[in-house]
Structure 1
Amino acid sequence: MAKATKVINRISISDEERRRIELEDIERTLLENKEVIKETFEVMKGMQDRGILSMVNSLLKEGDKVLNILVNTADTPETANTLKNLLLILGTLGTLNVQQLEPLILKINSGIARVAEADKTPEKPSYLALLRSLNDQEVKQAMTFLMTFIKGMGGDTSDLERTTQLPENQHLHKTNETAEIERPTSRKSYGSSIPSKSGSDKKRKNSWFWIAAGVSLVTIPLTLSKSRK
């Protein structure tokens, strides 16, 4: 039987041979990624032409000074408020419904176009023409649109608002809200025997609203005629 080999002689590679293998490996990598390398050099050339590389080089040379300036600038109340407001604005933009906002923008653009055309006409509107315009379908739709918009603005949206208060103030705010909710309802029992005036108050408010609307419609032509004179 043959004896087991106990001595392993490793083949030593010379420095020249190792260098040749590494160069072949680099050459193979460059050939496989020549398009990537070409586009990278084009990007670097464009940055060099516009002075971006020189600016980055200068920033790296003055790295400690630049870092100190950035830290000092960031450590100010103004910067903290700016970042907080920016986050709130981004969050508010995320709540906008673009599909519902598009018809509103189109209506506003249409109204602006009508106003621009009306400024070009030298004719003075009469009182009768203004009163007749109230019977126009488009005017009715616009008034309904404005009233619906005002009604929506008067709705309670406190539960949807983003808070900017400190944590301790938020806790106090929530405590006050729960205390108001958990108040005893004894006042309601006493007030049940008193007749409610909410219906009459609403009627009075509506009547005053229509009176103010009529007065404003009458005064608008007067102000327009005076301003043109």
Structure 2
Amino acid sequence: MAKAITHIRRMEISEEEQRRLDLEEVEAMLIEHKDALRAFLTVLDKMNKQGGFDIAAGLFDEGEHVIDILVKAIDNPGAARTLKNGLLLIGTLGQLNVEKLGPVIARLNGGLDEATEWSEGDRSVLQLLGQTNWKEALLFLVSFFKGLGQEKEEPRPRKGIKRWVTAAGLSVAGFLLLRKKVQ
């Protein structure tokens, strides 16, 4: 009859062998993500040439002073309203249907082009009335105002905005906590 195994001895890998395996793993990752690394290194190079690292180092060197300025800048009612309005604006922009907005923007641009051309020459009111496609312009305005007057169901706020605000707040809190620990 066979004896029961009571002790398992793990195979030990030498330090040199482990180092070789780690290098192979890193090499495989570099090859797999070479495009992303190339783009990242390009960004780092541009940041270095523009002095971005010097600015970041200066911010960390003068961290206490920078945070003092930020807190004082945020600690007023205008800044709070600006942040709130900015977040509301971002949420509103996310609700716009850009595909439907495209033709409206194209017409606005066309109207601006025509107005620019018109203002560059001497024209009379009769020429203005003769040049305008009144039917199309009035149909556009009536359709636009009809859409403004319709009551539509209020869209629910998107969870992504709340998550973004939460992530930003946690990032600032984490930065402040880490900064305190470093001191």
TM-score range, shorter chain: 0.5 to 0.7
Instruction: Choose from 126, 147, 152 the match for 1:152.
Output: 147
Closer/same/farther in 2, CA of residues 149 and 26 from structure 1, 3 Å limit: same
1 CA distance for matches of 2:41 and 2:126?
72
Change (3 A) 1:24 1:97: closer
Closer/same/farther in 2, CA of residues 53 and 23 from structure 1, 3 Å limit = farther
SS of equivalent residue, structure 1 residue 108: helix
Point out the more displaced range, 76-85 or 104-113.
Answer: 104-113
Structure 1 Cα separation of the partners of residues 54 and 25 of structure 2: 27
Which structure would you say has the larger Rg?
1
- TM-score, normalized by length of structure 1? 0.44
Q: Please list, as runs of the form range in 1=range in 2, the aligned pairs for 1:1-20 lying within 5 A after superposition.
A: none
Q: Separation in 2 of the partners of 1:42 and 1:111? A: 42
User: Deviations 1:78-135 (Å, cap 9, x if unpaired)?
Assistant: 22211100111011112222122112122222233333333455453449x84xx49x
Give the partner amino acid of 1:118.
W
Can you give the 5+ residue segments of structure 1 that lack an aligned partner in the other structure? 1-16, 163-229
Name the counterpart of 2:90: 90
CA distance, structure 1, for counterparts of residue 147 and residue 41 of structure 2: 57
Which residue number in structure 1 is paired with residue 59 of structure 2? 59
Q: Which runs of 5 or more structure 2 residues have no equivalent in the other structure?
A: 1-13, 157-183
Q: Distance in 1 between matches of 2:155 and 2:122?
A: 47
Shift of 1:42: 6.1
Structure 1 equivalent of residue 23 of structure 2: 28
- SS at 1:149's partner residue? helix
Aligned positions, number: 138
CA distance in 1, matches of 2:52, 2:102: 40
Give the Cα separation in 2 of the matches to 1:34 and 1:61: 33
Aligned equivalents of 2:52 and 2:64: distance in 1? 20
Write the letter of the residue equivalent to 2:144: F
Within 1, Cα distance between the matches of 2:56 and 2:21?
A: 28
TM-score scaled by structure 2?
Answer: 0.53
The whole-number CA distance in structure 2 between the counterparts of 1:51 and 1:29 is 35
CA distance in structure 2 between the aligned counterparts of 1:111 and 1:44, rounded to whole angstroms: 44
How far apart are the structure 2 equivalents of 1:84 and 1:106? Answer: 31
